[in-house]
Chains A and B, each alone.
Chain A
Amino acid sequence: MSDQEASPTSGIIKKFLYVNRRAPHGSNYAQEGLEVALVGAAFEQDVAMAYIDDGVFQLKTDQDTSEIGTKNFSPTYRALGDYDVKKIYVEKESLEKRGLTQDDLMPLVYEDEDDDWAEKPMINLVSAAELQDIIEQSDVVLNF
């Protein structure tokens, strides 16, 4: 992780990785993490998302918060592609431990400008070891 602060005006593009470890609706972490990632992406930084532990629940399909009186922000994950976020890493082990498969996750896509706006999948399942490499290769890692 770099100790140098990224400035939106400097023109330096850094690799940001947002690591999301918590369930979506029990606290503000998930929503805040998502919003901060979108802000970073709006400043044209290279933004990737990682979901581990209970964080994998954030990407679950068919979330419904009507009974708990909070905003269902899960449709906002589908806006990540519009903000040019193209990489979402989901830790395989975390999914398996929770009895989930990729079919339980929202089919998030981005539109590839260089390929006639073809829709391409964003979610990559990675092992804990692979994720470790991804974290090491990032300039800035933020935990939510």
Chain B
Amino acid sequence: MTIEVSGKSYETDEEGYLANLSDWNLELAEAMAKQDGCDLTENHWEVVNFLREYYDEYQIAPAVRVLTKAIGKRLGKDKGNSKYLYELFPYGPAKQACKYAGLPKPTGCV
């Protein structure tokens, strides 16, 4: 599978996750979100950027429970809960936000 952005084509897996982490850019993230009918707001970006930092440090995309806890620690309890994160990412916060972050599907996610 591929995704087209500004005339360039990027390789993805069958679920739309980017094949090469290094291909990632802001425009690509927005295009992926648009395909899911989602407009990325500042609140979405907070989570997406957090995931990219997490991956950079640990070389892994965290499972949703780990993400929720870590967001709570970083951004406060009002954001570190399932309700808030599922409102932003209805297809599953870890799964969906990892996709826009250009990361593989989270470890612990089936």
Contacts and interface: CB of A to CB of B under 8 A. Distances in A.
Contacts of B110: 39
The DSSP consensus for interface residues of chain A is helix
A38 B63 contact: yes
Interface stretch (B52-60, B76-84, B95-103): B52-60
A71 B73 CA distance: 29
Contacts of A141: none
Contact of B57 (A39, A44, A75): A75
Contacts of B58: 75-76, 78-79, 82
Contact of B107 (A42, A72, A117): A42
Interface in B66-110: 66, 69-70, 73, 107-110
A35 interface: yes
Q: Select the residue from A42, A72, A83 with max chain B CB neighbours within 10 A.
A: A42
Interface string A39-74: 101111000000000000000000000000001110
A15 to B, nearest CB: 18
A42 B59 contact: no
B62 A82 contact: yes
A41 B109 CA distance: 11
A73 B104 CA distance: 14
Contacts of B59: 71-73, 75-76
A9 to B, nearest CB: 12
A35 B57 contact: no
B65 interface: yes
A35 B62 CA distance: 11
Contacts of A82: 58, 62, 66, 69-70
Interface string B39-67: 00000000000000000011110110110
A117 B69 CA distance: 12
A83 B66 CA distance: 6
12 contacts: A38-B63, A38-B108, A42-B63, A42-B66, A42-B107, A42-B109, A73-B59, A73-B60, A76-B58, A79-B66, A82-B66, A117-B73
Interface of B: 57-60, 62-63, 65-66, 69-70, 73, 107-110
Please provide the 3 A-B residue pairs with the shortest distance between their CB atoms, ordered closest to farther: A42-B108, A42-B63, A79-B58
